[in-house]
Amino acid sequence: MRVLHSLLCVGLLAGCSPWSSEPPAHPTLTRVAGVPFYPQEGFRCGPAAMAMVLDWSGLFVKPAALEAHFFSLKDPRKTLAETANRYGRLAYPIAGTNAMLTELAAGHPVVVVQNLGVDSAPVWNCAVAVGFDKAQNQILVHAGDQAAKRMSVRLFERLWADTDNWGLVVLRPGELPAAARQPDYVKAAYNLERSGRYWEAVLAYDAGLALWPNDPDTLMGLGSSLYLLGDPRGAAEAYRAASVVAPDPSPASAALAQIATELAQRSETVAAADKPLPPPLARPTRTGQRLKETTR
């Protein structure tokens, strides 16, 4: 009977294993180092969870300083991402246990939102996944008043299901998620730009070029952020590179034409005042090198 049970488990893995995803490359036991714990008192789970990952990323922000951003008891996923951007951090969304395990194995904590209530009356709770124990079928979570609380993977996934197994990785600009996907990453970098964090967006786009050196969306985003940062020459380099690799070069060409007009007008103004043009802003070394390689 034991042999028969083992064979059934092999044939019906999804039914016998508590893990919905269990890639063999993941270690058996993982605990992300350096993630502080803040007790989640009352309805302060959102500020506490965000403070934990911001602190881990190198920004010390007390939960109380974040409370104003979490003014609603509605699903806090959007607020979590926007708050991370506001503090100059890349907010990269993930979906599913497999993606979460990959990030945890890479040393990245993951903010999750779980429903502690029922579908008709949800009670959203923000927590921070900080590790997993595959041998014990458990996820380690900073939640409530307990650090590294051990939760069975079945319970964790059941509470997590109502947010479509959504998670958020909060990183310093220039760092890459462990399993970055181009569309999601470019959107995350763009959200930094949209939040007015232009320099951080430049760093994020530059890191993206390490994975997708000829990606027109990443190059266009880099050009936009450099332009908004006040570096039209740098923006022109990025747009020029995008025009070479984009299936439709017209957006990049239009941006180049606009910058050329602006620089010409500026040159005329500066010449009239008999002053030299200001030098371009110093940018990450990698950006300039990659742009040169793209345009060769």
Residue (of 174, 213, 176, 179) closest to 88 by Cα position:
174
Question: What whole-number distance in Å separates Cα of residue 133 and Cα of residue 122?
Answer: 28
For 11-60, write each residue's pLDDT tens digit: 333 334 555 655 446 778 899 999 999 998 766 899 999 999 999 999 99
CB count within 10 Å of CB 111 equals: 27
Residues of the chain with CATH 3.90.70.10: 17-171
Cα angle value 12/154/181 (rounded, 5°): 85
Residue (of 161, 14, 178) closest to 101 by Cα position:
178
3-state SS assignment for residue 37: coil
- Which tokens in the block code for residue 296? 């060769």
Residue (of 187, 165, 204) closest to 21 by Cα position:
165
pTM above 0.95, yes or no: no
Angle between helix axes 232-245 and 250-273 (nearest 10 degrees) is 160
Question: Which helix (H) or strand (E) segment is 104 a member of?
Answer: helix 97-105
> What would be the CATH architecture of the domain defined by 17-171?
Alpha-Beta Complex (3.90)
Answer for the pair 224, 204: CB distance below 8 angstroms, yes or no: no
Amino acid at 92: Y
Residue (of 180, 64, 45) closest to 114 by Cα position:
45
Backbone angles phi, psi at 181, to 5 degrees: -110, 135
DSSP structure string for 134-166: TTTTEEEEEETTEEEEEEEHHHHHHHHGGGTTE
Answer for the pair 92, 101: CB distance below 8 angstroms, yes or no: no
Residues of the chain with CATH 1.25.40: 196-295
Question: What whole-number distance in Å separates Cα of residue 261 and Cα of residue 252?
Answer: 14
Cα diameter, the chain: 93
Q: pLDDT at residue 296 above 70?
A: no
Angle between helix axes 182-194 and 77-86 (nearest 10 degrees) is 60
Confidence at 264, pLDDT banded by 50, 70, 90: confident
Q: pLDDT at residue 74 above 50?
A: yes
For 146-201, write each residue's pLDDT tens digit: 999 999 999 999 999 999 999 999 999 999 999 899 999 999 999 999 999 999 99
For 171, counting Cβ atoms within 10 Å of its Cβ (0-12 exposed, 13-18 middle, 19+ buried), the class is buried
For 132-143, write each residue's pLDDT tens digit: 999 999 999 999
pLDDT in the model for residue 18: 58
3-state SS assignment for residue 224: helix
Question: Which helix (H) or strand (E) segment is 127 a member of?
Answer: strand 124-133
- Which tokens in the block code for residue 227? 């332009």
Backbone angles phi, psi at 17, to 5 degrees: -85, 135
Answer for the pair 129, 138: CB distance below 8 angstroms, yes or no: no
For 33, counting Cβ atoms within 10 Å of its Cβ (0-12 exposed, 13-18 middle, 19+ buried), the class is exposed
Tell me the CATH number of domain 196-295, given options 1.10.10, 1.25.40, 2.40.160, 1.10.1610. 1.25.40
